[in-house]
Structure 1
Amino acid sequence: MSRVNDLCRSTATSFRIHSEMIRFRLAELIADKAFMERRSISMTEVAEGSGVHRATLSKMANQPGTNVGTEIVDKLCRYFRCQPGDLLSYVDD
């Protein structure tokens, strides 16, 4: 039984490490947009403008390893008028 527990723990760690390699640059994109438009932009405004739920945006901005689908990436790229590579970055461990 100990082997099974060790395997489960190492597998969970591997998935956690793997999922944290992709980071969302949501805060940076919001800051860039605010700077370009010379005004403050809230998460609520991004949620309303993009059609992405505010809770999802908050998770993306604050919880490393958050997993979202391509539909969310598409909506945010459309809102920020950017490419997926502008929204996502790969972080090498």
Structure 2
Amino acid sequence: MAIIVNIDVMLAKRKMSVTELSERVGITMANLSILKNGKAKAIRLSTLEAICKALQCQPGDILEYKSDEEGQIQ
């Protein structure tokens, strides 16, 4: 996957649990887990906004792009 979701990193930096983030954002633990584990196909901008508000961060702190070729030796 080319888009990496770094929610775990921000949760650790903010010393916040997944449960607390789930409650603050209003997203189920199951959906947050799907997003956190990189299995999500999409994210609503309103959800991203709520996550950023709860974690006091920018979207770029959570989302990262890596090309598929970066991990391959040429």
Q: TM-score, normalised by structure 2?
A: 0.79
Paired position in structure 2 for 1:56: 31
Paired position in structure 2 for 1:17: none
RMSD of equivalent CA atoms = 1.3
The one-letter amino acid of 1:32's match is K
Q: 1:65 Cα deviation (Å)?
A: 4.4
SS in 1 for 2:53: helix
Structure 1, unmatched stretches of 5+, are 1-19, 35-40
Runs (4+) of structure 1 moved beyond 2 Å? none
The answer to whether structure 1 residue 24 and structure 2 residue 5 are counterparts is: yes
* Matched length: 67
Structure 2, unmatched stretches of 5+, are 69-74
Q: 1:26 Cα deviation (Å)?
A: 0.5
Aligned residue runs from structure 1 range 4-43, under 5 A = 20-34=1-15, 41-43=16-18
Q: Quick check: which one's helix share is greater?
A: 1
Q: TM-score, normalised by structure 1?
A: 0.65
State the identity as a percent: 30
